[in-house]
Amino acid sequence: MEIRDLRAEDEELIQQVAAMLLAAFKEMAPEAWPDMESALEEVRESFGRDRLSRVAVDEAGTALGWVGGIRQYDGHVWELHPLVVRPDCQRQGIGRALVTDLEAQVREQGALTLWLGTDDETGMTTLAGVNLYPNVWEHVAQIKNPGGHPYEFYQKLGFVIVGVMPDANGWGKPDIFMAKSIRPLITDG
């Protein structure tokens, strides 16, 4: 596997990545990219200014996964958006490798923090389907994951929950905000 920049001229890979978005998110976040046109638009937006677009490809040059990054806060913070791995290639370390690669890319550009939002539109966590107000942090402190939500994947990579936006996607459908420090390692000497 190789991770490299996804470029605007990589039309075949762009098509593969858009199809991957459709397939991977249709159950977990069906409104995110409901059709090929919206998925293609998401991929093409990743070529904009202050953006990174990285793709994992196999030996034949076929897309295995994709991660995007969006520069924010004068470059001190970057948003990881989105991350997708082809469904038949999940749980093989590709997502972890893409996140690690993005961390290295933005660290080189001076970033201190990497953050992401991970929606719960389908009731995968105990934050969904309930009124989180007025004690939002009590709910966050007691979060459980009965439905296999990806927030635990991100926790394994060092991300922590830094907030939640109740009802972001409709009543009882929160967006869970996660972040991690990616400050350069400082060594003595």
Instruction: Answer yes or no: pTM beyond 0.75.
Output: yes
Is the model's pLDDT at 4 over the cut of 90?
yes
Contacts of 77 (CB under 8 A, 6+ apart): 111, 112, 113, 114, 115
Q: What is the pLDDT of residue 27?
A: 79
Residues 123 and 99 grouped into a single domain = no
* pLDDT reported for residue 186: 62
3-state secondary structure (DSSP) of residue 55:
strand
Mean pLDDT of the chain: 95
Residue 188 banded pLDDT, cuts 50, 70, 90: low
Contact yes or no for 68/51 (Cβ under 8 A): yes
For 43-87, the pLDDT digits (tens) are: 999 999 999 999 999 999 999 999 999 999 999 999 999 999 999
Specify the pLDDT at position 28.
81
Q: Does 138 lie in the same domain as 107? A: no
Tokens of 98: 């893409």
Give the pLDDT of residue 32: 85
Contact 54, 102 (CB under 8 A): yes
Task: Give the mean pLDDT of 96-119.
Answer: 97
Tally of domains within the chain: 2
Q: Determine contact, residues 149/125, Cβ cutoff 8 Å.
A: yes
Is the same domain home to 95 and 126?
Answer: no
> Residue 110 has what pLDDT?
94
Q: Which domain holds residue 159?
A: 115-189
In the beta sheet, which residues pair with residue 117? 177
What are the backbone dihedrals phi and psi of residue 154, each rounded to the nearest 5 degrees, phi first?
-65, -35
Residues 88 and 38 in one domain: yes
Give the residue carrying structure tokens 């034949």: 60
Binning pLDDT at 50, 70 and 90, where does residue 174 land?
very high
Phi first, then psi, for residue 150 (nearest 5°) are -70, -5
pLDDT the model gives residue 189? 52
CATH code for the domain in which residue 3 is found: 3.40.630.30
Strands (E), 58-106: 63-72, 77-85
User: Is there a single domain that holds both residue 95 and residue 23?
Assistant: yes
| Residue 16, helix vs strand vs coil | helix
Among 90, 111, 132, residue at a domain's last position: 111
| Whole-number pLDDT of residue 187 | 60
Q: What is the pLDDT of residue 29?
A: 81
Query: Is residue 134 predicted with pLDDT exceeding 60?
Result: yes
| Residue ending a domain, choose from 111, 138, 173 | 111
Distance from C-alpha of 108 to C-alpha of 154, rounded to nearest angstrom: 21
Tokens encoding 46: 């990743």
